[in-house]
């Protein structure tokens, strides 16, 4: 099974950015933890602060026929029609993930352009949300194969 873990703007600063909200773990820590938890899954990890690069990576995942995508679009969640359209245009299931509980934060964070076209959304569980998303994708793929 092949899964893309895609992260949007400012997530490269995890570990130092607002640790009271996001914790002290880094994206490298996340990659190690997720890979260790799912040793039979092949992961690709990608982060960009640039909207177009995220769109291109979604398109590439579609061309590569990945089995699923775990996507934290970060601030682009609330602003990007381009990312919404990219998720809508591809076939791999996308699980939207946010480390913080966006509904307990500023009102601007309550609206997601991605959620209506994603297979699901996980918020508020920190980095465990990525694990939950991968678990769903693995289980769904196994169920579909039966």
pLDDT tens column, 78-116: 999 999 999 999 999 999 999 988 877 877 777 899 999
Confidence at residue 103, expressed as pLDDT on a 0 to 100 scale: 79
Q: Which residues of 61-88 are buried (b: 16+ CB within 10 A; e: fewer)?
A: bbeeebbbbbbbbbebbbebeebbebbe
Taking the CA atoms of the chain, what radius of gyration do you get in angstroms?
14
Q: Strand 2-7 relative to strand 42-47: parallel, antiparallel, unpaired?
A: parallel
SS3 content of the chain, % helix, strand, coil (to 5): 50, 20, 30
Catalytic residue among 59, 76, 78, 98: 98
Per-residue pLDDT of the chain (146 residues; tens, 9 = 90+): 999 999 999 999 998 887 877 788 999 999 999 999 999 999 999 999 999 999 999 999 999 999 999 999 999 999 999 999 999 999 999 999 999 888 778 777 778 999 999 999 999 999 999 999 999 999 999 999 99
Is residue 22 part of the annotated active site? The answer reads yes
- Domains assigned to the chain: 2-145 (3.40.50.9100)
Active-site entry in 22, 76, 113, 130: 22
Q: How crowded is the C-beta side of 65, counted as CA atoms within 13 Å?
A: 0
130 is catalytic: no
Bridge partners, residue 2, by sequence: 42
């Amino acid at each position: 099974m092949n899964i893309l873990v895609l992260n949007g703007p400012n997530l490269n600063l995890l570990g130092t950015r607002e640790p009271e909200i996001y914790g002290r773990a880094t994206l490298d820590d996340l990659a190690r933890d997720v890979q260790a938890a799912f040793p039979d899954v092949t992961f690709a990890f990608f982060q960009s602060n640039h909207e177009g690069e995220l769109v291109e990576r979604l398109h590439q995942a579609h061309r590569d026929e990945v089995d699923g995508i775990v996507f934290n679009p970060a601030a682009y969640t609330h602003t990007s029609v381009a990312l919404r359209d990219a998720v809508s245009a591809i076939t791999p299931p996308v699980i939207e993930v946010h480390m913080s509980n966006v509904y307990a934060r500023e009102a601007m964070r309550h609206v997601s352009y991605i959620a209506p076209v994603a297979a699901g959304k996980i918020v508020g569980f920190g980095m465990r949300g990525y694990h939950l998303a991968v678990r769903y994708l693995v289980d769904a793929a196994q169920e579909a194969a039966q």
